[in-house]
Amino acid sequence: MANESPRKVERDVTSQGVDLPLDRSYWIKSAKQQLRGRMAEIEKVKKRREERAIEKARFEKGRALLARSERARKAEEFDFNQSNLTSEQVLNPCNSDQLKVEPTSIPEEETDEAGVDGGSIVE
């Protein structure tokens, strides 16, 4: 019945024996009231959309902050591990990774055929 024209509604109501005001002001008021109701509903929907947009922005901001702090934590952990490795290498120079090769003079008979001197490994 909400989609019916005012004339059809008026005809249906009068056929049931109910007296309605003959002037159109009643129908105008009814139409205005329906329009106000629709406008209020539209405003509610707009307001809810804005609230959801604000919630989403807050969520994204929190997510970005969390990701940034996670990256900072990982970078700090990496730096800590690197400093530990460096410290171990300084304190324990006998690591197989840290062998130093120093050239020494080798007697003529031990030089290879190309004439290049070899080297000895110093720990």
Q: What is the DSSP string of 32-85?
A: HHHHHHHHHHHHHHHHHHHHHHHHHHHHHHHHHHHHHHHHHHHHHHHHHHHHHH
Give the C-alpha separation, 26 to 7, whole Å: 12
Task: Give the model's pLDDT for residue 30.
Answer: 83
**Residue 38 belongs to some domain of the structure:** yes
How far, in whole angstroms, is CA 23 from its chain's centroid? 60
Render pLDDT for 85-97 as a digit per residue (tens, 0 to 9): 888 777 776 655 5
Beta-ladder partners of 121: 101
Task: Give the model's pLDDT for residue 123.
Answer: 45
**Residue 1 belongs to some domain of the structure:** no
Task: Give the model's pLDDT for residue 86.
Answer: 82
Give the range among 23-27, 67-71, 106-110 with minimum mean pLDDT.
106-110
Question: Is the whole-model pTM more than 0.85?
Answer: no
Q: By residue range, what is the domain housing residue 50?
A: 6-122
**Residue 86 belongs to some domain of the structure:** yes
Count of structural domains within the chain: 1
**Residue 32 belongs to some domain of the structure:** yes
pLDDT over 70 (residue 83): yes
pLDDT over 70 (residue 19): no
**Residue 103 belongs to some domain of the structure:** yes
Task: Give the model's pLDDT for residue 22.
Answer: 59
